[in-house]
Amino acid sequence: MATADAAMIAVDWGTSRLRAVLLDGVGVAIEERESDDGIGTLSGGHEAAFEALVTGWPPVPALMAGMVGSRQGWREAAYVPCPATLETLATALLRFTSERGRAMAIVPGLVVRDPARDGDVIRGEETQILGVLAGEPDFAGLCLLPGTHSKWVSVAQNRISDFQTYLSGEMFELLSRHSFLRHSVTASGRDLSASPDFALGIRRTAVEGLPFPAAIFSVRVRQLLDNVNREDNLAYLSGLIIGGEIAAAIAAGRLRGDFPIRIVGTPSLAKAYVSAFAIVQGMVTLVDGSAAVVAGLRQVARASGLLTTEQPQ
């Protein structure tokens, strides 16, 4: 398809990556490009980084999601309170015109307030959820977006009602690479979640009720007293952390036996959670996270008039 058909650019701009997809008037992808100019690596120069990536594409409007709307981003798009729908988000778009005259818009993040934990925020994930809902408008259940900061998002009746962030990915990095446990574990590139040691970790924190703070030192003990090898022990640590996350979510009522779960992310990241839910409970389906962002941006574009044509049948 030629760029002459282009109607808009869907932009997924996170902390470490910038990705742009040129769409035609009905939302079909014409071309896709990607760069390392994540928000975390830039200090200003957002327009230049964006225009460098889309060089040669027509001057169509761009709709962006992710950290691009944070305080460190191109423009700060204030958080919108939950519950939130596609219409809420489309109405709250932060619109501006770039210095080169391009019409730009940023999908805002979401905020929940909760006296038990102050509250929570997401930015970027809301658009992925809209992408999930584009595929299954009647979905009611849990969308889990694993990562450095894992997000559990409750969805029903086409709206995002609540969510919670867990630091599981970051905790895994800290404990396996920066704590004294680094001497008790080692990475091997192997699929950790297939290991019986991963399953043991999940069972202890998510099934047997061992609180996460009471569980961590066992990583050292297993190596010291039982000569568990460091590869297996890394799988065990990963299991303890993900199991601790699941236990905390169960305690908060975020996971019930009859809740369907969509794991939205890259297959490699999602795999550990699929293994974990196989041990705990849950009807899990995987959703490709990159595709979900673009699907979500398409939905917002339609709801806000950036794409005027109806979705093709």
Among 216, 264, 292, 306, binds its own copies (CB under 8 A): 216
In the complex, least distance from residue 55 CB atom to its own copies, rounded to whole angstroms: 33
Residue 304: helix, strand or coil by DSSP?
coil
Give the torsion through C-alpha atoms of 201, 268, 281, 285, to 10 deg: 180
Which CB sits closer to its own copies, 19 or 204? 204
Please list every residue from 282 through 311 that binds its own copies, using CB under 8 A: none
* Whole-Å CA distances, 140 to 152, 259, 282: 13, 8, 14
Between strands 141-145 and 150-156, the pairing is: antiparallel
Name the one range near its own copies by CB under 8 A: 100-108, 130-138, 176-184, 300-308: 176-184
Any idea of the CA torsion for 152, 290, 89, 55, to the nearest 10 degrees? Answer: 150
The candidate with the shortest Cα–Cα distance to 190, out of 271, 287, 264, 244, is 271
State whether residue 202 is helix, strand or coil: helix
Closer to its own copies at the Cβ: 212 or 259? Answer: 212
Nearer to its own copies, 194 or 221 (CB): 221
Q: Binder to its own copies among 128, 164, 176, 299 (CB under 8 A)? A: 164
Site stretch for its own copies (CB under 8 A), options 24-32, 249-257, 262-270, 303-311:
249-257
Candidates 66, 131, 244, 289; binder of its own copies (CB under 8 A) is 244
Determine which helix (DSSP H) or strand (DSSP E) holds 249, and give its type and residue range.
Answer: helix 230-251
Q: Does 180 bind its own copies (CB under 8 A)?
A: yes
Q: Decide if residue 256 touches its own copies (CB under 8 A).
A: no
Asked if 166 touches its own copies (CB under 8 A), the answer is yes
Give the x-and-dash track for 100-139 against its own copies (CB under 8 A).
-----------x-x--xxxxxx------------------
Residue 176 DSSP label: I
Residue 221 within binding range of its own copies, rule CB under 8 A: yes
Considering only residues 23, 247, 270, 272, which one is a binding residue for its own copies as defined by CB under 8 A?
A: 247
Q: Could you give the angle at the alpha carbon of 157 between the alpha carbons of 153 and 161, nearest 5°? A: 35
230 near its own copies (CB under 8 A) = no
Helix 267-279 crosses helix 230-251 at what angle (to 10 degrees)?
70
| 212 binds its own copies per the rule CB under 8 A | yes
Residue 75 within binding range of its own copies, rule CB under 8 A? no
Distance CA 62, CA 103 (A): 6
Looking at 48, 194, 214, 278, which residue binds its own copies (CB under 8 A)?
214
CB of 220 to its own copies, least distance (A): 8
Q: How many residues bind its own copies (CB under 8 A)?
A: 48
Those residues with Cβ within 8 angstroms of residue 296's Cβ, 6 or more apart along the chain or in another chain: 65, 107, 126, 127, 128, 129, 130, 131, 132, 134
Q: Which residues of 255-269 are buried (b: 16+ CB within 10 A; e: fewer)?
A: beeeeebbbbbeeeb
- Measured distance CA(152)–CA(216) in Å, rounded: 23
The answer to whether residue 44 forms part of the interface with its own copies (CB under 8 A) is no
Phi, psi of 33 (to 5 degrees): -135, 160
The correct pick among 17, 33, 75, 149 for binding its own copies (CB under 8 A) is 149
Residues interacting with its own copies, by CB under 8 A? 79, 111, 113, 116-121, 148-149, 164-168, 170-171, 174-175, 178-180, 204, 208-218, 221-222, 224-226, 241, 244-245, 247-249, 251-252
